[in-house]
Amino acid sequence: MANRRGLPVPVKQGLKLKGQQVMVLGWKDKRLVLMLSTFHGSYCEKIQRTIKRGAIEELDKHSVICDYTSKMGAVDRADHYCASYAFTRL
């Protein structure tokens, strides 16, 4: 989140942070997603996705977004289930 407390101002502006490469990415497909990474670069991957009526669309997507999507699916699903049901402990 861009307004996260404690996030340094140079990172908010997308600058280098004391000799370390920091990539700040804002990606919008359906909604805005902000990513901060010291591992990934700014390179893109070509992906294909199906849109309305079976048409196939090819687009460039940043590798950090592709890695997040492939690795974090189960965690997001578990968070979704926890938010959907009221768990109480006695």
Domain extents in the chain: 9-84
- The predicted pLDDT at position 81 comes to 78
CA distance 82 to 55: 35
**Burial of 66 per CB tally in 10 Å (0-12, 13-18, 19+):** middle
- The predicted pLDDT at position 46 comes to 92
Q: What digits encode the pLDDT tens for the residues 69-82?
A: 887 766 777 777 77
- The predicted pLDDT at position 73 comes to 67
CA distance 17 to 45: 26
62: part of which helix (H) or strand (E)? strand 56-62
The mean pLDDT of 1-9, rounded to a whole number, is 69
Q: What digits encode the pLDDT tens for the residues 20-57?
A: 677 778 888 777 777 878 788 778 889 888 888 889 98
CA distance 38 to 4: 18
